Amino acid sequence: MLSKYHWWRDAVIYQVYVRSFLDSTGDGVGDLAGVRAGLPYLKKLGVDGIWLSPFYPSPQHDHGYDVADYCGVDPLFGDLAEFDLLMAAAHRLGIKVLLDIVPNHCSSEHPWFREALDGEPGSPARARFHFADGRGPDGGEPPNNWHAMFGGPAWTRVADGQWYLHMFTPEQPDWNWRTPEVAAEFDRVLRFWLDRGVDGFRIDVAAGLYKHPALPDSDDPEADARTRDSVNPLAWNQPEVHEVWRRWRATCEEYTARDGRERLLVGEVSVPTAREHALYVRPDELHQAFFFDLLGAPWDADAFRKVISEAMQDIAGTGSTVTWVLNNHDQVRTVTRYGEPAPEGSGLGAARARAAALLMLALPGAAYIYQGEELGLPEVVDLPDDVLTDPIFRRTGSRARIRDGCRVPLPWSGQASPFGFTSGVDGVKPWLPQPEYFAEYATDRALADTRSFWHLYRDGLQLRAALPQLGEGTLHWLDTAPGVLAFTRGDGLVCAVNFGTAPTPAPVSGTPLLSSGPCPAGVLPGATAAWWLTDL
């Protein structure tokens, strides 16, 4: 029987970057068995579900986002039997499991792409991708001027002179969703994993599947590829993409009708405005889509209020709920983003990150936590060039947008690397080096210190689950002093954040129910957030 409660509407999901979570085999790379071993830790933290980064067979040119087989497990991470054990263990603990699916592009080693390379121009095998003749007298120029998101041109030439499109790297050819065979193949993939019991999918590059059919030149190709989340209007957000999500939603509803267990579709949707974002979460499309504007907002009360208000108006107005996020595997961690560049992450950046966490957990809708966020991990900014693996660095030679710094393996215990992440037997080291200062952030130390980030997140999640004022619903802004943001949730819960550095009078009297730092009654210190229960 179908439950009237939609679990996903106010769920808190923990993003597991599998290769950096916990290594069970001693090879220096995290794996599915390591995730299974870490489930009790996540249960204790209080999350509702996990999102697993890609673990499919892959040459790992982009750490699994170049998929060679959508229905398998790379031996680096385990096998299907281990996946089934992980699913069963998570469900026993009441933890939902979402998989990361990558429908915009595959690996250049995918069998269909190898078949396309062996095929002739105009063949059905090539129609599954974007192959085109080049420009110029000998076809030696790319078919258009598009730039790849990870640097360089978006086209690579093959032996017979044609070119193929890749909006990220040459090892990640883009699928041609105008070929029906592609849609049918992904129908098969979804059903394969739904039949194994998954609770839903996080969809990579959800706005990018369809390209303009004529593949015309861009007016400003460099701007289109300037940032990871920029938008090329010719290769992004084409209207036909919405039919894909209606089709996938119908598949999920079919499975839900069988057993009453709702399956979730949450999209990585990078579009310019909250209003365009809202089109992806209409009742018959995606259940949710990540709202990145909060992640991208500067530490400023007016900026935060603006993006929150727009999301509540445009996205929640569709009947969906906003999906809030402050960190993920593609972005600089909040402790560093909000503060001084000191790698230890102490001081202002840490205080602001703690305050932002309480703010996010008080907002209506769902929230996603990236692994290590609950430990207060800073960005590792001093990785040497010779250990960097991000294809952005390989493509551009620049460190400006690299993502390795937020992907360094988690510290679990001890005073020196590998900090319990891997066994360290035979000199095996984590796939990215952990700095010495990670000892201060190890989970065993965090759990023992009631003042740690971990306890702040755990307490916030417990209250969020226990208090009817939190979770899904509305908020109402309160009048405050400049630099302070405050709102009410439900019947008498107030959340306030001081974005300044000087103390200010609290918007309500009394001792806070929970605060991100020391917060005496009647005062809201700088870079602090607090929750109160009040009669307002």
pLDDT in tens, 275-305: 999 999 999 999 999 999 999 999 999 999 9
Convert the pLDDT of each residue in 82-138 to its tens digit: 999 999 999 999 999 999 999 999 999 999 999 999 999 999 999 999 999 999 989
- Amino acid occupying residue 164: Y
Q: Which of 133, 217, 254, 449 is catalytic?
A: 254
* Reported confidence tier of residue 503, pLDDT bands at 50, 70, 90: very high
- Of 431, 381, 388, nearest to 406 (Cα)? 381
Cβ-based neighbours of 232, under 8 Å, separated by 6 or more: 146, 167, 218, 221, 224, 225
Helix (H) or strand (E) holding 461, with range, is: helix 453-466
The pTM assigned to this predicted structure is 0.95
Q: What's the CA gap between 457 and 287, in Å, rounded?
A: 25
- Amino acid occupying residue 95: I
- Amino acid occupying residue 392: I
Query: Quick one: average pLDDT of 420-442?
Result: 94
Dihedral (C-alpha) 179, 182, 184, 189: value to the nearest 10 degrees? -170
Query: Quick one: average pLDDT of 497-514?
Result: 95
Residue 382 is among the residues annotated as catalytic for this protein:
no
514-515 vs 528-533, strand pairing mode? antiparallel
Residue 27 is among the residues annotated as catalytic for this protein:
no
Helix pair angle (32-45, 80-92), 10° resolution? 10
Is the pLDDT at 345 greater than 70? The verdict is no
Cβ-based neighbours of 222, under 8 Å, separated by 6 or more: 147
Tokens of 314: 């445009």
Strand partners, 51: 15, 98
- Of 32, 18, 164, nearest to 105 (Cα)? 164
Tokens of 127: 């129609």
Q: What's the CA gap between 404 and 423, in Å, rounded?
A: 22
Count of other CB atoms within 10 angstroms of residue 489 = 21
Q: What's the CA gap between 86 and 393, in Å, rounded?
A: 33
Between the alpha carbon of residue 104 and those of residues 250, 340, 487, the distances in Å are: 20, 37, 39
As to burial, measured by CB atoms within 10 angstroms (0-12 exposed, 13-18 middle, 19+ buried), residue 398 is exposed
**Strand, coil or helix: what is 400?**
coil
Helix pair angle (348-362, 453-466), 10° resolution? 10
Q: Which of 48, 62, 174, 204 is catalytic?
A: 204
* Reported confidence tier of residue 389, pLDDT bands at 50, 70, 90: confident
Convert the pLDDT of each residue in 190-221 to its tens digit: 999 999 999 999 999 999 999 999 999 998 76
